Amino acid sequence: MKPFQSEPPYGLTAPAAPITQAFSGARTVDFLLIGGGYGGLLTAIDLAERGAQVVVLEAADIGAGGSGRNHGQCIPVFRYLDPAVLPAKGAELLANAGALVFDRIRQYDMQCEAVQKGTLTAAYNKRTLATTRSAHAKYNGLGKSDRYYDADEIASLTGTRKFSGGWAHREGGHVNPLAYVRELARVALSLGVEIFTKSPMVGMTRQPGGWQVRTPDGEIHAKVVGLTTDAYSNGSIPGSLTKGFFPLTSYAVASRPLTADQRSAVMPSGMNFGDTHHDPMFFRIDASGRIITGGLREPGRGTRFDYTAAFMTRRLGAIWPVLADLQWDHMWTGVVSMALDQTPSIQKLDDGLWALSGWSGRGVPTSAALSRAFARTLEDPAKGLSYWPQRTPPQVIARGLLGSMVQLCRGPYNQMRDKLES
């Protein structure tokens, strides 16, 4: 096997994480967030902007979990964005998720290699022309997309004539995800949020007026506790939360920086790319010219580096011949929490104890919307209902087995479906 880096390249260019310490002693606060990823930090920022006293506990370092290991794409397109089902405020938040991400980045001058040139979805056959036209109509109606692109326009945007049409969500884009979460921590600290790293929760007890949360070296009494650990929950997190989703392992690969010729030929529009195969391909090109792509790990892809690198080069080279000899340097994995309905949820575990869980992918834009709804729920559950539904955690039966079966069967099944359509 060729040597490769088993960590993402994000740390090569991300700003250093702000200086934080492990928690010790005793503290009393209004709101305590457990988990210092996107969900916890964005919720903390929202609460602090409204004057609340907030503490965030992170078991490891900022960016150690999914927030620092994802693909970095902001794709604000959601199957569950349905104004007929969601509360009006929640539907509006979700519709504006892309804008929420990049507006906050600009507001606080976050240094996270942010690019907001849109997210392109390209159609390759009659079936996907119909599905992309339907998606375009939905987001065009929300004011998030312009006209539907014909084959010539798609060729100009992508640099290839392999696609016959498509559309773009103009508020999509991408970030360096590790830089983004570190910058969120910096912003939270500037607003008065206290962040403690290397401070795992080791126990929790209900007490009059709130909750006592214990760490290895201290305890915090909080009126309201929000759990935002999701797929990276440790053993002290209530089992009712972790049983509400099934875990999946995702992978990502990063190429060597493209040459000038390759960079000018591949996605000259600067948009994120996604196609409409059953076995979809999506990627972005980062600030250093690397292609970042990936998916759910399978027996081959995401498991064996040589196989994965060859597969990705072959797949990309078939569309952009200039990438026929593309080389790869990084492959890494992360954990995804998948809800049965693929919809994130705000869950009531007990009085004053809430969880935000089931991201089901697309954490960059989803966290921007759901964290605001979560903050309103922590402040006042009754008012929170006008932002997002609240439910008790669902129970996924045989969650480990279900996750294993999805990882084993999903890829080959979708590849077979694509072959039957070709």
Distance from C-alpha of 331 to C-alpha of 307, rounded to nearest angstrom: 11
Greater pLDDT, 415 or 87:
87
DSSP state of 21: B
The Cβ-side half-sphere exposure at 360, using a 13 Å CA radius, reads 17
Q: What CATH number should be reported for the domain whose range is 10-100+177-243+340-395?
A: 3.50.50.60
- The answer to whether the beta carbons of residues 227 and 237 sit under 8 Å apart is yes
DSSP state of 115: B
Q: How does pLDDT run across 318-330, given as a tens digit for each residue?
A: 999 999 999 999 9
Distance from C-alpha of 281 to C-alpha of 134, rounded to nearest angstrom: 20
Distance from C-alpha of 144 to C-alpha of 317, rounded to nearest angstrom: 31
Mean pLDDT of the chain: 95
**What confidence score (pLDDT) does residue 304 get?**
96
Distance from C-alpha of 218 to C-alpha of 222, rounded to nearest angstrom: 13
Give the ranges where 50-145 is alpha helix by DSSP (H): 88-95, 97-107, 126-141
Question: What are the residue boundaries of the structural domains of the chain, listed by start?
Answer: 10-100+177-243+340-395, 119-170
Q: How does pLDDT run across 396-411, given as a tens digit for each residue?
A: 888 888 888 888 888 8
Indicate if the pLDDT at residue 123 is higher than 80: yes
- Classify 21 in phi/psi space as left (phi over 0), alpha (psi -120 to 50) or beta: beta
Instruction: State percent of the chain over pLDDT 70.
Output: 100
- The answer to whether the beta carbons of residues 189 and 36 sit under 8 Å apart is no
Q: How does pLDDT run across 176-197, given as a tens digit for each residue?
A: 999 999 999 999 999 999 999 9
**What confidence score (pLDDT) does residue 372 get?**
98
Region 99-125: mean pLDDT is 97
Among 114-118, 230-234, 352-356, which stretch is predicted with the lowest mean pLDDT? Answer: 230-234
- Please report which confidence band the pLDDT of residue 415 belongs to, taking 50, 70 and 90 as the band edges: confident
Distance from C-alpha of 253 to C-alpha of 328, rounded to nearest angstrom: 7
Max CA distance (Å), the chain: 66
Indicate if the pLDDT at residue 89 is higher than 90: yes
**What confidence score (pLDDT) does residue 39 get?**
97
**What confidence score (pLDDT) does residue 327 get?**
97
- Please report which confidence band the pLDDT of residue 2 belongs to, taking 50, 70 and 90 as the band edges: confident
**What confidence score (pLDDT) does residue 1 get?**
58
Distance from C-alpha of 12 to C-alpha of 8, rounded to nearest angstrom: 9
Q: How does pLDDT run across 262-316, given as a tens digit for each residue?
A: 999 999 999 999 998 888 899 999 999 999 999 999 989 999 999 999 999 999 9
**What confidence score (pLDDT) does residue 321 get?**
98
H and E: helices and strands count for the chain? 12, 19
Q: How does pLDDT run across 132-153, given as a tens digit for each residue?
A: 999 999 999 999 999 999 999 9
Global pTM value: 0.96
